[in-house]
Chains A and B, each alone.
Chain A
Amino acid sequence: MAATVIIERHTGTATTDGGTTKTAITSSNARASTSDAPTPGTADPIPIPGAGTNYSYWVSTRLNCTGAPTGTIDNLNWYSDAVSFGTGVTVSGADASTGATVGYRAATGTQGTTGTQLTTGNHTGLDAAPVDVTTLTSGSPRALGGTITATTGRFGDLFVYQFGVGTSASAGTTPANTFTWQYDET
């Protein structure tokens, strides 16, 4: 019958199957912050810089099949609702599966100030350079690798994203945005 699949946020040091801590995505922990906390709430917001860009700690997400499908889950895709995050705010993302620890790398930075910028140089698990996630839409999603058949477990590529806040940003909460995982199951 139908599988049970959840989205998890990975934080902490790297292990063989991602971050040390894996937290199911709920409304309270879909926020990005300037810490590696799995459920930051409104703590450690990204300060507007006087010059340059401040970043959130990158957010690593991955699927976990907790109830096995009868058949196969495949054709994984990730996309956004293409809605702007506001003036001076950009979100970049990329899939990750390269190297050990299934492509997971712990987010780093200066807590309360800025995360380390998400680049292929700083995050060696990325499969490609990050792109503006508003360019990843339902008609042009990021295709992720990975399948799972008739069993449970974490599977597929990670999708890693990061907020960047520039000097022209306005203080306050960014508009709500929707990030989507899509897959096919038999």
Chain B
Amino acid sequence: MQRLVSPRGLHDLLVSWEAEYHDGRVIKEREGRAYADIDRYQLKEFRLVSPGEILMRAPMKDGRTGHNLCYRRRVVMSAATGQGFTRNTWFMVGFVPMGPVFAYSPGLDEAKQAVRFVHGDPLFSPPAPHPNEGETFSFDALGHVTDARLAPSRITLPSGYVLDVK
């Protein structure tokens, strides 16, 4: 995955996803499509976009397919006594179970990356699997991959996934 821009102060409501298929079609969240609508057999690239620009690309390559893609808006709402209410959204895009996982907060203008989702991590804890993702969520309680075909020793971060933080 590659972070392309760092628009300071971008409101999270302006960020949406797009899914490009191998036949060139693109389905878009801002056109009313649901995440569950994505045809994972056809998925070529998943993107986060804001009006006029692409924020992040996640191509399906190096053994990662549409069935490994995991996306969530992770919303953190905090209420502090006497200080009011704050809300921040992290856009989580990752591949399950092999990783990597990318988190981007437009409100904080921060981007972070992890090797994979890990139980107990404040930001990169695993999401609840959805029906079209459940077969790939093979974590144990410590956040280790349990699928022997994807043992950590055989996973490397390929080039092109280096986070370019501005």
Contact = CB atoms under 8 A, between A and B. Distances in A.
A6 to B, nearest CB: 8
A1 B80 contact: no
A64 to B, nearest CB: 12
Given A1-B30, A70-B32, A185-B73, A27 B84 contact: yes
B128 interface: yes
B34 A71 contact: yes
B71 interface: yes
Interface in A13-56: 25-27, 30-31
A186 B80 contact: no
Contacts of A178: 78-80, 83
A75 B36 CA distance: 17
A72 to B, nearest CB: 7
Given A183-B75, A186-B72, 7 more contacts: A1-B16, A70-B34, A71-B34, A75-B72, A176-B80, A179-B79, A185-B74
Contacts of A186: 34-36, 71-73, 130
A27 B122 CA distance: 25
Interface in A59-75: 70-72, 74-75
Given A31-B82, A74-B128, A178-B80, A5 B36 contact: no
Contacts of A140: 120
B90 to A, nearest CB: 9
Interface of B: 12-13, 16, 29-30, 32-36, 71-85, 89, 92, 120-123, 127-128, 130
Given A2-B13, A185-B73, A139 B82 contact: no
Contact of B75 (A5, A139, A173): A5
A180 interface: yes
Given A30-B80, A139-B122, A179-B78, A184 B127 contact: yes
A7 B85 contact: yes
A174 interface: yes
A98 interface: no
B16 to A, nearest CB: 7
Contacts of A138: 122-123
30 contacts: A1-B13, A1-B16, A2-B12, A2-B73, A5-B75, A27-B84, A30-B80, A31-B81, A71-B35, A72-B130, A74-B127, A75-B127, A75-B128, A138-B122, A138-B123, A140-B120, A174-B81, A176-B81, A176-B83, A178-B78, A178-B80, A178-B83, A179-B80, A181-B78, A182-B75, A183-B74, A184-B92, A185-B74, A186-B34, A186-B35
B122 A5 contact: no
Given A70-B34, A186-B36, A26 B84 contact: yes
Report, as a range, how many residues of chain A touch the other chain. Answer: 20 to 34
A150 B32 CA distance: 12
A27 B120 CA distance: 29
Contacts of A174: 81
Contact of B74 (A70, A179, A182): A182
A174 B92 CA distance: 35
Interface string A109-130: 0000000000000000000000
Contacts of B85: 7, 25-27
A26 B80 CA distance: 9
